[in-house]
């Protein structure tokens, strides 16, 4: 899949390029165009022009129909999307075929469905004219799109997280300029092809490729012609984007990093908690923002839990690589740091040897650690790899204190068979998403996002439509 920009309805790949490497085996996948400031300017200009055209006057029904055509287009090229996602990320094919691509289709369908249920006029009421006026007034509010929206997405779930923002942004009537991660440009380019085939007016969706700081990402998010920024990625990147956004007071929606805890209470179903933690720590080799990196286990279960989790981690096969050599080296540096900080390595802790082409890729072993103090950097900092640290606790209050002692607050998992405890504990965990006896069970309409350094705002269902549009109140004196 040749990566190309898509600007004002035209595919182009002019300018400098950079190589794309397959993380599964280290082989080259081709060259990616790096958007210059001029390409980004062209994309923002094309988006602005599209808003002034027919797209700016579409009805919700027309936009819903457009989203359904895009969903159908992705579905029709399902295998092509899976192939491209697997090549760019190295993730197991099963993950791309059961999560990434179906969820991307689901994102477009879900917002098409929501548009039918959503009144264009969000609020209508008649109130006494008490603010210096007299008589009655009719107030009603309409929701207006924000305008040109910049979408910046990461490499871990490239198509899923891109469409998670593009679908509601288009549903609300905006024009989009998207910049996917430089590591994963291929499914975004395929999506641009599908959107072109779906007949959206030129400039409604634009795609630029390239790097972040000092490059396409920064040109876009600092652009005065951008009316809103929806970003998913590292918290430090969010902070850098926010500094640029401040110059134009551009609104932001941020989904950022995490250091997610799991709490395993003494009354938990141990089998379910172990298997659930295998999933929550090691799915996509830990490269999902929702993955568990800190596990706190009630002392009576602690030793058996650690033994069983370690055995399951050692037995895992078929896992994918880290996204890049750089990210592999970062994860391995935390494996070394953990040892220096005094960790016991229960499982993993190094790089696997497969004896085949995968040895040219960027794999690291699923790793289980114990014995670190809560102050250890390994326990406090997001690693974003297949690794968790397991520690015991004695009381419910202590478990909550440990879970909440983090600069992050994205997701948490609670394992208990006590219904009262589940309801008592879940709202006290400082996280935007708390799962009880499950992990990553997601309904697209529910609020998604983090507290503290894990994000600003909520996405999902109506929450996304609220971010991507704003109410305008109209007051008529009667
Ligand atoms: P990243 O922050 O390095 O990059 C994300 C995107 O931002 C890329 O497209 C990149 O090119 C761009 N970018 C980088 N610097 C920029 C800058 N200064 N200005 C504008 N754009 C810039 O993140 P990543 O390594 O791609 O993804 C992993 C991170 O994302 C982890 O921290 C993970 O927790 C987080 N993440 C969070 C969620 C969530 O929903 N909360 C979901 C997925 C990933
Ligand atoms: O499942 C989703 O919709 C979603 N937004 C997942 C985010 C995962 C982060 O890496």
Cβ–Cβ < 8 Å for 87, 185 = no
Task: Give, for all 478 residues of the chain, the pLDDT tens digit.
Answer: 799 999 999 999 988 999 999 999 999 999 999 999 999 999 999 999 999 999 999 999 999 999 999 999 999 999 999 999 999 999 999 999 999 999 999 999 999 999 876 665 455 666 655 556 667 788 888 899 999 999 999 999 999 999 999 999 999 999 999 999 999 999 999 999 999 999 999 999 999 999 999 999 999 999 999 999 999 999 999 999 999 999 999 999 999 999 999 999 999 999 999 999 999 999 999 999 999 999 999 999 999 999 999 999 999 999 999 999 999 999 999 999 999 999 999 999 999 999 999 999 999 999 999 999 999 999 999 999 999 999 999 999 999 999 999 999 999 999 999 999 999 999 999 999 999 999 999 999 999 999 999 999 999 999 999 999 999 999 888 8
CA of 195 relative to ligand 1 center, distance in Å: 24
Task: Give the integer Cα–Cα distance in Å for 89 and 109.
Answer: 25
Exposure string (b/e) for 25-54, b if CB count within 10 Å is 16 or more? ebeebeebbbbbeebbbbbbbbbbbbbeee
> What are the DSSP calls for 148-189, one per residue?
EEEEE--SSSHHHHHHHHHHHHHHTT-EEEEE--TT--HHHH
List, in order of start, the domains of the chain with CATH numbers.
Answer: 5-256+454-477 (3.40.605.10), 260-443 (3.40.309.10)
CA of 134 relative to ligand 2 center, distance in Å: 51
Cβ–Cβ < 8 Å for 363, 352 = yes
The best mutation among 106, 160, 283, 291 to test binding of ligand 2, ranked by most ligand atoms within 8 Å of the C-beta, falls on 160
DSSP state, residue 459? B
State the ligand closest to the CA atom of 450: 1
**What residues does ligand 2 touch, defined as CB less than 6 Å away?**
156-157, 164, 288-290, 442, 448
Write down the residue that tokens 């440009």 correspond to. 185
């Amino acid at each position: 899949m040749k990566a190309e920009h898509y600007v004002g309805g035209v595919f182009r790949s002019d300018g400098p390029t950079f190589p794309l490497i397959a993380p599964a085996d280290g082989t080259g996948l081709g060259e990616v165009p790096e958007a210059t400031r001029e390409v980004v300017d062209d994309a923002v200009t094309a988006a602005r022009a599209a808003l002034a055209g027919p797209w700016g006057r579409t009805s919700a029904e027309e936009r819903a129909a457009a989203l359904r055509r895009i969903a159908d287009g992705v579905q029709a090229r399902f295998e092509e999307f899976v192939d491209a996602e697997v090549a760019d990320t190295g993730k197991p094919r099963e993950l791309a075929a059961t999560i990434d691509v179906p969820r991307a289709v689901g994102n477009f369908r879900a917002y098409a469905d929501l548009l039918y249920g959503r009144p264009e006029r969000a609020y209508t009421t008649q109130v006494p004219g008490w603010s210096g006026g007299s008589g009655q007034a009719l107030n009603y509010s309409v929701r207006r799109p924000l305008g040109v929206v910049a979408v910046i997405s990461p490499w871990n779930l490239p198509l899923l997280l891109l469409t998670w923002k593009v679908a509601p942004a288009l549903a609300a009537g905006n024009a989009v300029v998207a910049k996917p991660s430089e590591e994963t440009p291929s499914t975004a380019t395929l999506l641009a092809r599908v959107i072109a085939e779906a007949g959206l007016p030129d400039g409604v969706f634009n795609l630029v490729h390239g790097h972040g700081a000092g490059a396409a990402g920064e040109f876009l998010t600092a652009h005065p012609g951008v009316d809103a920024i929806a970003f998913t990625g590292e918290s430090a990147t969010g902070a850098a984007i926010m500094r640029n956004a401040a110059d134009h007071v551009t609104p932001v929606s941020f989904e950022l990093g995490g250091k997610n805890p799991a709490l395993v209470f003494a009354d938990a179903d141990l089998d379910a908690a172990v298997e659930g933690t295998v999933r929550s720590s090691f799915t996509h080799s830990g490269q999902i923002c929702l993955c568990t990196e800190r596990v706190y286990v009630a002392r009576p279960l602690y030793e058996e839990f650690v033994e069983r989790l370690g055995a399951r981690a050692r037995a895992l096969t078929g896992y994918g690589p880290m996204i890049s050599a750089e990210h592999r080296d970062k994860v391995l540096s935390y494996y070394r740091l953990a040892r220096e900080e005094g960790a016991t390595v229960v499982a993993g802790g190094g790089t696997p040897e497969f004896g085949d082409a995968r040895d040219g890729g960027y794999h690291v072993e699923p790793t289980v650690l114990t014995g670190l103090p809560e102050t250890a950097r390994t326990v406090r900092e997001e690693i974003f790899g297949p690794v968790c640290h397991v520690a015991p606790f004695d009381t419910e209050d202590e478990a909550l204190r440990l879970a909440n002692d983090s600069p992050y607050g994205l997701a948490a998992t609670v394992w208990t068979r006590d219904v009262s405890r589940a309801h008592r504990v879940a709202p006290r965990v400082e996280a935007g998403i708390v799962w009880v006896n499950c992990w990553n069970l997601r309904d697209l309409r529910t609020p998604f996002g983090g507290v503290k350094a894990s994000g600003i705002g909520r996405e999902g269902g109506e929450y996304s439509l609220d971010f991507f549009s704003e109410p305008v109140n109209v007051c008529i004196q009667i």
